Amino acid sequence: MRTTIDSYKDRAGRLDLQGIEFDDFKDQPLPAEALRSLKYMHDVEHHTVCYLRDLLLTPAHSDPAVTSFLSCWAFEEMWHGEAIGQVLEAHGEPAGAPRIAALRQKRRRKEAFSAFSTIASAAFAGRAFIALHMTWGAVNEWTTQAGYSRLAESAGHSTLKELLKRIMKQEGGHIDFYSSEAGRRLEDSVKAQRLTRFALKHFWRPVGAGVMPKEEVRFLVRYLFEGSKGQAIAERIDRRVDRLPGQGGLHLLDGAVSKLSRRNLAV
Ligand SMILES: [Fe+2]
Ligand SMILES: [Fe+2]
């Protein structure tokens, strides 16, 4: 059944942190790799609003269902960043406003280029751009949810596991909306299928790759998606992309993991 904006709006809300004891991390700190992963996730969750700024200048702003979704989505992602920030703070790491401000300061010029290129391509593509945006969002949300699942498993920390379970549930709501809209819009338009396939094939990179330093992207992809379990998850996401109209055989995740892994081995 198609996920409607009304069913998503009914479920959307601030992340429930009741019963999450952040002081647990002071008594039982996370392994270094898990903490490094959470810094990445904190920064990327908080970057959502910048991504939203670019999207609202595209044809996406003319569709009320899409803008309603984006309003709730950005709110939920912000609270994911805030919750992860509390984990970082419990480890004595900077989080929240000072960390985000420093990141945005570094990215100011790149941000202007990113906004310009999004707007220019959207103007060229027209409404087909919305199908691309929905598909891109679905791939990123599938990847994000899988990343949290892998982290919950590998960190071996019960408090983190519970927190990530709650975050993943909300990511599931994002997945439902994006993938449902992507399927419907791609089905309706061959132009949208071709545009989306071209953009994914040539420009898609793992979530956060446009924001985070290359060595952090490489670390995260290796930490979460290498090995037999990581590979199985990457293949599962690729099969989901295969099922979207006109998007078969792209192997986005598999390609990204092997590319970043090979580079790392060469370092
Ligand atoms: Fe999130
Ligand atoms: Fe999400």
Ligand 2: distance of its center to the CA of 173 in Å?
A: 8
CA 171 / ligand 1 centre spacing (Å): 6
Q: Is 202 exposed, middle or buried (0-12, 13-18, 19+ CB in 10 A)?
A: exposed
**Predicted pLDDT at 65:** 93
CA–centroid distance, residue 178 to ligand 1 (Å): 14
Token output for 263:
């580079």
The per-residue pLDDT for 2 is 57
Q: How far is the CA of 80 from the centre of ligand 2 (A)?
A: 9
- Looking at the CA of 167, name the nearest ligand: 1
* Interval between CA 266 and ligand 2 midpoint (Å): 33
The ligand that comes nearest to the alpha carbon of residue 80 is: 1
**Residues having C-beta closer than 5 Å to ion ligand 1:** 45, 77, 80
The pLDDT, as a whole number, for residue 116 is 62
Q: Which stretches of the chain score pLDDT less than 50?
A: 1, 263, 266-267
pLDDT at 167: 98
**Per-residue pLDDT, 156:** 95
Q: What is the pLDDT of residue 119?
A: 65
pLDDT of residue 266: 47
Non-local CB neighbours of 178 within 8 Å, separated by 6+ positions: 134, 135, 137, 138, 141
Protein residues with C-beta less than 5 angstroms from the ion ligand 2 = 141, 171, 174
Ligand nearest the Cα atom of residue 174? 2
Question: How close is the Cα of 45 to the center of ligand 1, in Å?
Answer: 5
Task: Give the per-residue pLDDT at 267.
Answer: 42
Calculate how far, in angstroms, residue 170's C-alpha sits from the geometric centre of ligand 1. Answer: 7
